[in-house]
Amino acid sequence: MLKLFTVSLLTISSALAQDAGATRADWPHYGGTQFSWRYSALDQINTTNVKALTPVWMFQTGDYAENLQTTPIVEAGVMYLITARARVFALDAATGREIWNYRYPEPPRGVPGFVGNRGLAIGDGKVFFGTKDNYMVALDQKTGRLLWRVNIDDARQCGCNITAAPLVVKDKVIVGGTGGDGAHRGYITAFFTKNGRLAWRWYVIPGPGEKGNETWQGDSWRFGGGAPWLTGSFDPALNLLYWGTGNAAADFYDAERVPAGADKSKDINLYTASVVALDADTGKLRWHYQEIHDDQWDWDSAYEVLLIDREIRGHMRQALVHMNKSGITSVLDRATGELLGVFSVPEVQTWISGITEDGKLVGRVEPELGKTKTVCPTAAGAKSWNSMAYSPRTGFLYVPVNELCEDLTPNNAAPQEGQNYMNGDFPMKLAPGRTTWSHVDAWDPVTGKRAWSMPYKYVLLASMLATAGDLVFTGNPEGEFYALDAKSGNKLWSYQTGAGHRGGSASYSVNGRQYIATSTGWHSSVVGGAALTLFPDQDWRLGSTLVVFALPEPSR
C-alpha cells in the first residue's frame, strides 16, 4: 500500500513537470514553453493520419533580404511573426489573414552585424523583439503600435546586436546579444515590460574585484567575448533563469586571455562557455557550470537549455539538458548545477579522445599558432543554433547533427573593440570516410544512449518540433519538410515547401483543429553561406515564407 502511494506521488510530480514543458492550443514562447522543449501536447495529428497532412495557408513576408528564421508565436488564435529586417506581423492563425504589421525603420548603412532575426516574445499585452541596431522594442500586441524602444549598446562600437528572441519573465523582458566572436564583453539585459526601463544587466565576464575576474589574463576580460546570443529558459518554481554563454574571444587563440600556468581541468575565462543560473528578479548569479575550460574551438555554449524532470539513478531530479557546438551534452541538476550525466553526439570527433563521467575532457588537441590542424566537428556546430526538441512520451531528445571537419589555423591578430576577434582560418569539409553529412538522432538524456539515427546526405540546420502524436517535424535545405516517427525515426510524411529550411516550427490549435507551422527560406550568410561553398552544385533556394499544415476537414 505504502509502495503504491510512493509510486503514484512520483507519477504526479512527473506529470506536473510534463505539464509545464508542453504547449497546448498556444505556442507562447520561442522554445514552446519556458522549459524550451519544443513539444506540443496536441495529438490530433499522429503517426496513423499524418500521411493526410496538407498545407492550409501560407504567408509570404515580402522581406527577402534574408530567410525567415523565426519560430512563430501563437496566442488565442493569433500568430506573431518577425522577419530578417524586423518586420512584424500579426496573423489570424487559422487563415493567415493579416491583422496588423509593423516595419522597424531600416538602420543606417554602416551599422555592423548580420541581417537576421530568430524570433519575438509576447507578454504583458506587448510584442517584444531585438534589432540589428541593438534596440529592444515593444509593440502593442493588439494593434502593432510602437510603445517603447531602448538602445542596449551602440552597435557601431560594440559590433554586437540582437538576433535572438527575448524571453519574458514576470514583469521583465530579458535578452542576450551577439558579439561572442568579437572584441566585446557579453551580457544579458533585463527591462521592465511596462516602460522599458532597465531592470538589471549581468555581464558574462566579471570585472576587476569580482569573483572570476582572476580567471582572465591582464585586461583581456574587457574584450573576452562570451556573448549569450540565443534565448534562455525559466523555472518559476526555483525563480531561476538559465542561459548558455558564448565562447571566449579570441576564439581560436588563447595566449592573451588565459593566465600563465592555468590548469585546464578547472574553470578558465569565467563565465564563458558555461550554463549559468541567474536569479530572475535581480540577475545575480546563483551557480555556473563551465562546459569547456578554455574553449579554443568556438564551441560556444550559447545554445538552448531544456528543463526536464527525470528519474536519474533512482532519484527524481529537476534537471536541465544543454548542448554546445562540440555536441557535448551536459545533464545538470537545475537547482544546484551538479553534473548528472554527459554524452557527445557527433560520430566523428577528433579534438578530444573522450570525456569522463564527471565531465573531464580527455586527450585535448589544442590549436597551435601558425599550425593547421584538422578539427572535427567544426565551429559551425555538431548542431547549429537551431533548437533540439524533447518528448516526455518517448523521453528522447531529437537532434540534427552535422558531421563536418575544419582545417583550423589560428592567428594572433590584436583585438580592436567591436571587431571580429576569432583569430582563425577554418575552411570546412566533410568528415573523412563519410558519404552523408548529417543525421537526425533520438538521444535518451538519462542513459546518454542514441535510440535511433536517420542519415541525410547534406547538412541539417532547421529546428526540431516534437508532438504528442509521436511525431518529430523538421526541414532540410532542399526544401523538404517532413515528419518522422518519434519512436523509430521512420519517415512518415514529407512536403516540398519550395525553399530550404533554416528556421523554427510550431504546433497550435484553433477551434479544435491542430496546425503545424514552419518558417522557410535558405539563407546566404554565416553557416548557410559556408554551406553554399561546400555544395556549389546545389540550388538551395532563399525565401521568406511561413507554411502551415493541418489534416483535411471532413467535407460537408
Partner 1 sequence: MKFLTASLLLSMPCWAQSPIKRGEDVFANSCATGYCHGVRGQSSGAPRLAGRGFNQAYIFNVVTRGIPGTGMASFATTLSRADLIAVVAYVATLNGVADPKTGSDDEAAASGPKLTGEAARGAELFKEAVRSFGRCSTCHEVGGFGISVAGPIAQVPASVAALKALATPNVKTGTMDGESMPVLVLSDRKQGTLFYDLTSAPPVQRNAQPGSVTFTDGSTWRHSSVIGAYNDAELDAILTYLREAVKP
Among 113, 130, 392, 489, binds partner 1 (CB under 8 A): 113
Here the cell at position 255 is 595566449
Binding flag, residue 533, partner 1 (CB under 8 A): yes
Strands 373-375, 339-344: pairing is unpaired
**Contact window for partner 1 (CB under 8 A) among 196-204, 267-275, 318-326, 457-465:** 196-204
Strands 465-467, 39-40: pairing is parallel
Binding flag, residue 154, partner 1 (CB under 8 A): yes
DSSP string computed for 132-154: TT-EEEEEETTT--EEEEEE-S-
**Contact window for partner 1 (CB under 8 A) among 27-35, 109-117, 334-342, 451-459:** 109-117
Binding flag, residue 430, partner 1 (CB under 8 A): no
Binding flag, residue 85, partner 1 (CB under 8 A): no
3-state secondary structure of 522: strand
Binding flag, residue 106, partner 1 (CB under 8 A): no
**Contact window for partner 1 (CB under 8 A) among 12-20, 147-155, 236-244, 447-455:** 147-155
By C-beta, is 494 or 525 nearer to partner 1?
525
Among 31, 119, 159, 176, binds partner 1 (CB under 8 A): 159
Name the maximum alpha-carbon separation found in the chain. 77
Binding flag, residue 373, partner 1 (CB under 8 A): no
Among 352, 413, 430, 451, binds partner 1 (CB under 8 A): 413
Q: What are the counts of helices (DSSP H) followed by strands (DSSP E) for the chain?
A: 3, 39
By C-beta, is 102 or 452 nearer to partner 1?
102
Among 45, 147, 188, 550, binds partner 1 (CB under 8 A): 147
C-alpha 132/C-alpha 115 separation (Å) is 7
Counting beta carbons within 10 angstroms of the beta carbon of residue 326, is it exposed (0 to 12), middle (13 to 18) or buried (19 or more)?
buried
444-457 burial, b for 16+ CB within 10 Å, e for fewer? ebbeeebbbebebe
| Cis amide leading into 377 (omega within 30) | yes
C-alpha 502/C-alpha 530 separation (Å) is 14
DSSP string computed for 388-439: -EEETTTTEEEEEEE-EEEEEEE--PPP-TTSB---EE--EEEPTT-S--EE
Least gap, CB of 406 to partner 1 (angstroms): 9
The one-letter amino acid code at 99 reads I
By C-beta, is 58 or 526 nearer to partner 1?
526
Least gap, CB of 26 to partner 1 (angstroms): 27
Among 54, 151, 353, 496, binds partner 1 (CB under 8 A): 151
> Which of 298, 300, 309, 485 is an active site residue?
298
Residues 212-251 that bind partner 1 (CB under 8 A): 222
Count residues binding partner 1 (CB under 8 A). 56
C-alpha 104/C-alpha 30 separation (Å) is 20
DSSP annotation of 70 reads P
Q: Nearest Cα to 520, choosing from 552, 488, 477, 549?
A: 477
Is 333 among the catalytic positions?
no
Binding flag, residue 284, partner 1 (CB under 8 A): no
Least gap, CB of 118 to partner 1 (angstroms): 15
Q: Nearest Cα to 322, choosing from 106, 31, 80?
A: 31
Among 375, 528, 547, 548, binds partner 1 (CB under 8 A): 528
Binding flag, residue 374, partner 1 (CB under 8 A): no
Least gap, CB of 350 to partner 1 (angstroms): 19
Site residues for partner 1 per CB under 8 A: 109-114, 145-154, 156-159, 181, 184-185, 195-198, 201, 207, 222, 379-380, 411, 413, 416-417, 419-428, 524-530, 532-533, 536
Q: Which residues are catalytic?
A: 298
